[in-house]
């Protein structure tokens, strides 16, 4: 008998995470009070990469004086695909694109201090949505933390100030406080001091910020969820900006809570657990049942764990199920926020607004984030059936752009099959409530002239990007407000024998830019920047190659350290010794390898393989402006690095 083969030994466990050591930047929480008190987070390698750079539009203003929608993102413990702040590899990662329904977004995990990843902050801020982190204490570990936190009035104030410092430095808008432990009654005065000091200091540091209390510990120190606002938790409600009510409430609790809140009823957020764990109405595909009651009693709603759609793989696919689920929410809730009206405006549909779809429509509209786009982001795809003399329109944007004396320049990109054509309908209103609709389209749309106030023929530019047509037009409507944009599907006049059926329709909208006429982005010259490389590490690779890790950072030479551009594209050019000397000062003709996008003024290049024979690396940092324009390669700053031992 032969001896059995020994079982292979398991691979060694990875070394413990050391935030001070260089590695691919991630977002991560703070797990202990000692880490919070010591401010060690600010000494981590990852801190500079986790700053949100997009300030919230109209962020210094408070919340609207109406019922509001809060969404609490609790999914798989948090920090999954979204932890990779320079972008991940999962094209099917969870996302939200129904921001027009949301007023407040909370990032949640079960760590002591949950810091929202900057990807969520930047995206929410683009849509005018406030973002909160979470401070939570639970189980024995949480009780021990509370004993330290609440030991004195001074300790309560100090930890509150540490939380304010984090929110202010990382660019988010406040905190949800969730004390899920039993406390001694004698600790309540310091707990109130913690909440009060956090609220006051947060408001001072970040105008328009929020501190919300979760319905957990009562004023007697008992962990006893009330499922409503009442005399047992109102003392906390009175010293912060609102309460997130536990989700096991009964039908009359929203009404009773509104009575207790008085003129602050909109600061009461009734919880709905989408997983349906003892939640009113059962959650899941019946979450709208709870929303109907909340709407009727005119208080606010807090949707907990909408990632249920993604986690449970609702059929037929995530995008369709997500749109269907949020469609139920929209139909029940009945409130849509306007996109903040700030020009220039640019969208490549990586986070689009789409009107609630009707499955019986002849044209179906899809958000496509996978196929090649005009310039990054996603596409809006319009497919279906359309007769020759018919047109179909669908709202894709709702906002408030007040137009001044300067005419407005519209640019949008379209790719279409056969004689399928796509235009934009602009809905305007004046101060005296006069409405006007303008269609931007080709001359073929003139047959619909009686359907619109005016039709403006666009100027078409072809052969800019394969298959795409760039459409441009100028609109002057001084004193009017642009309220809505609709995509309009119609037929051009030429026939195309390649179309399978005369009624088949297929067109793609790639981007929209709106900016004042004559607006030009101001890109600092290459020599205005200081670019540096740190944490340079070379290791040996296969076949004589080398592997490089390096942190790149850049700033303006004049010392200005403020937010300048929303993003930067990073490219790499690899040069041999001959190329290095023959092309000093330029790299434009060489192959540029795309490395990724940075939303801060630093980027970590990880595990780049440099073949033997390459003597020099040139890292190009290309600034991207708010209107979608990008800096020319010739004028972009760069960092040049000699290959070790070349």
Can you give 586-641 as a three-state secondary structure string? Answer: CCCCCCCEEEEEECCCEEEEEEEEECCCEEEEEEEEEEECCCCCECCHHHCCEEEE
Q: Is the pLDDT of residue 497 over 80?
A: no
What is the model's pTM? 0.92
Two structure tokens written together for 549: 């890790």
Q: How confident is the model at residue 103 (pLDDT cuts 50, 70, 90)?
A: very high
Q: What are phi and psi of 516, to 5 degrees?
A: -60, 145
Binned at pLDDT 50, 70 and 90, residue 404 comes out as confident
Buried b (16+ CB within 10 A) or exposed e, 615-633: bbbbbbbbbbbbbbbbbeb
pLDDT (mean) for 392-418? 90
Percent of the chain with pLDDT over 70: 94
Average confidence score pLDDT of the chain? 91
Please indicate whether residue 187 or residue 351 has the higher confidence score (pLDDT). Answer: 187
* DSSP of 546-598: EEEEEEEEEEETT---S---SEEEEEEEEEEHHHHHHTTT--TTS--EEEEEE
Rounded CA Rg of the chain: 27
Q: Which of 129, 106, 113 is nearest to 55 (CA)?
A: 129
Size of the chain, expressed as the number of residues it contains: 646
3-class SS of residue 486 = strand
pLDDT at 58: 64
Residue 339's nearest CA partner among 516, 97, 623 is 97
Give pLDDT, residue 577.
81
For the ranges 63-77, 87-101, 103-117, which has the lowest average pLDDT? 87-101
CA-wise closest residue to 558 among 536, 534, 528, 531: 528
pLDDT class of 582 with cuts at 50, 70, 90: low
β-strand 408-416 against 420-429: which pairing, if any? unpaired
DSSP summary character for residue 448? G
Residue 319: enclosing H or E segment and its boundaries? helix 318-333
Judge whether residue 498 has pLDDT over 60. Answer: no
For 71-85, 102-116, 344-358, 569-583, which range has the lowest pLDDT when averaged over its residues?
Answer: 344-358
Residue 226, pLDDT above cutoff 90? yes
pLDDT for residue 471:
95
Rounded to whole angstroms, how far apart are CA atoms 315 and 408?
43
Per-residue pLDDT at 585 exceeds 70: no
- CA gap 495, 531 in Å, rounded: 55
2, pLDDT greater than 90: no
The 3-state DSSP class for residue 534 equals strand
Average the pLDDT over each of 177-181, 371-375, 628-632 and give the range with the smallest value.
371-375
Ordered structural domains, the chain, with CATH: 33-54+68-80+96-333 (3.20.20.80), 345-516 (2.60.120.260), 526-642 (2.60.40.10)
What's residue 323's pLDDT? 87
- Please say whether the beta carbons of 60 and 96 come within 8 A: no
Token look-up 């309009």 returns: 488
CA–CA gap between residue 319 and residue 305 (Å, rounded): 17
Cα dist from 239 to 172, 191, 243, whole Å = 20, 11, 10
pLDDT for 149 equals 98
pLDDT at 581: 62
Average pLDDT for residues 225-249, to the nearest whole number?
Answer: 98
Percentage of the chain with pLDDT > 90?
Answer: 73
From the CB of residue 231, how many other CB atoms can be counted at a distance below 10 Å? 10
| DSSP characters over 149-201 | HTSSHHHHHHHHHHHHHHHHHHT--EEEEEEES---GGGHHHHHHHHHHHHHH
pLDDT at position 84: 97
- What's the pLDDT score for residue 3? 61
Residue 128: closest CA among 81, 173, 80, 74: 173
> If you average pLDDT over each of 289-298, 371-380, 383-392, which comes out highest?
289-298
pLDDT digits (tens, 9 = 90+) for 142-195: 999 999 999 999 999 999 999 999 999 999 999 999 999 999 999 999 999 999
């Amino acid at each position: 008998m032969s001896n059995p083969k020994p079982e292979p030994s398991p691979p060694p466990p990875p070394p413990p995470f050391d935030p001070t050591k260089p590695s691919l930047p991630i977002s991560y929480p703070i797990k202990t009070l000692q880490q919070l008190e010591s401010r060690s987070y600010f000494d981590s390698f990852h801190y500079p990469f986790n700053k949100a750079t997009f300030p919230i539009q109209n962020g210094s203003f408070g919340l609207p004086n109406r019922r509001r929608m809060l969404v609490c993102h609790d999914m798989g413990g948090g920090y999954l695909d979204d932890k990779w702040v320079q972008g991940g590899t999962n094209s099917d990662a969870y996302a939200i694109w129904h921001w027009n329904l949301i007023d407040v977004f909370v990032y949640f995990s079960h760590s002591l201090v949950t810091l929202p990843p900057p990807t969520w902050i930047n995206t929410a801020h683009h849509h005018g949505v406030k973002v909160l982190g979470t401070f939570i204490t639970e189980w024995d570990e949480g009780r021990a933390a509370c004993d330290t936190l609440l030991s004195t009035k001074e300790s309560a104030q100090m930890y509150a100030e540490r939380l304010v410092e984090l929110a202010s430095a990382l660019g988010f808008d406040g905190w949800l406080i969730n004390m899920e432990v039993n406390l001694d009654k004698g600790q309540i005065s310091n707990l109130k001091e913690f909440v009060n000091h956090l609220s006051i200091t947060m408001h001072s540091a970040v105008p328009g910020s929020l501190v919300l209390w979760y319905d957990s510990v009562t004023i007697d120190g008992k962990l006893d969820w009330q499922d409503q606002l009442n005399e047992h938790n109102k003392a906390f409600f009175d010293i912060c900006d609102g309460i997130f009510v536990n989700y096991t409430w009964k039908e009359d609790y929203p009404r009773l809570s509104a009575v207790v809140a008085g003129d602050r009823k909109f600061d009461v957020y009734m919880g709905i657990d989408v997983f349906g764990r003892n939640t009113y109405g059962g959650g899941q595909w019946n979450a709208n049942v709870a929303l109907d009651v909340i709407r009727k009693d005119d208080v606010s709603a807090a949707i907990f764990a909408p990632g249920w759609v993604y986690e449970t793989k609702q059929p037929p696919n995530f995008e369709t199920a997500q749109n269907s689920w949020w469609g139920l929410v929209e139909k029940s809730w009945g409130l849509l926020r306007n996109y903040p009206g700030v020009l220039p405006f640019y969208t490549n549909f990586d986070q689009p607004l789409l009107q609630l779809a009707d499955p019986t429509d002849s044209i179906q509209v899809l958000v496509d984030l996978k196929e090649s786009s005009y310039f990054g982001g996603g596409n809006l795809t319009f497919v279906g059936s359309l007769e020759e003399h018919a047109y179909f329109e669908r709202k894709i944007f709702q906002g408030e752009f007040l137009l001044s004396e300067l005419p407005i320049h519209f640019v949008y990109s379209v790719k279409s099959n056969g004689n399928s054509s796509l235009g934009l309908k602009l809905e305007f209103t004046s101060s005296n409530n006069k409405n006007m609709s303008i269609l931007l389209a080709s001359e073929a749309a003139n047959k619909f002239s009686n359907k619109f106030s005016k039709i403006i023929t666009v100027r078409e530019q072809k052969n800019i990007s394969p298959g795409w047509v760039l459409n441009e037009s100028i609109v002057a409507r001084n004193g009017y407000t642009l309220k809505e944009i609709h995509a309009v599907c119609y037929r051009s006049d030429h026939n195309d024998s390649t179309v399978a059926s005369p009624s088949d329709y297929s067109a793609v909208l790639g981007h929209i830019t709106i900016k004042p006429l004559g607006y030009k982005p101001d890109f600092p010259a290459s020599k205005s920047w200081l670019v540096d490389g740190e944490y340079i590490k070379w290791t040996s690779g296969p076949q004589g190659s080398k592997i490089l890790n390096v942190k790149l950072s850049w700033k303006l030479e004049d010392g200005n350290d403020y937010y300048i551009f929303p993003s930067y594209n990073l490219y790499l050019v690899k040069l041999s010794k001959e190329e290095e000397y023959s092309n000093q000062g330029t790299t434009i003709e060489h192959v540029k390898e795309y490395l990724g996008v940075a939303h801060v003024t630093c980027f970590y290049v990880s595990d780049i393989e440099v073949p033997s024979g390459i003597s020099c690396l040139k890292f190009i940092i290309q600034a991207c402006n708010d209107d979608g324009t990008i800096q020319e390669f010739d004028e972009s700053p760069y960092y040049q690095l000699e290959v070790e031992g070349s």
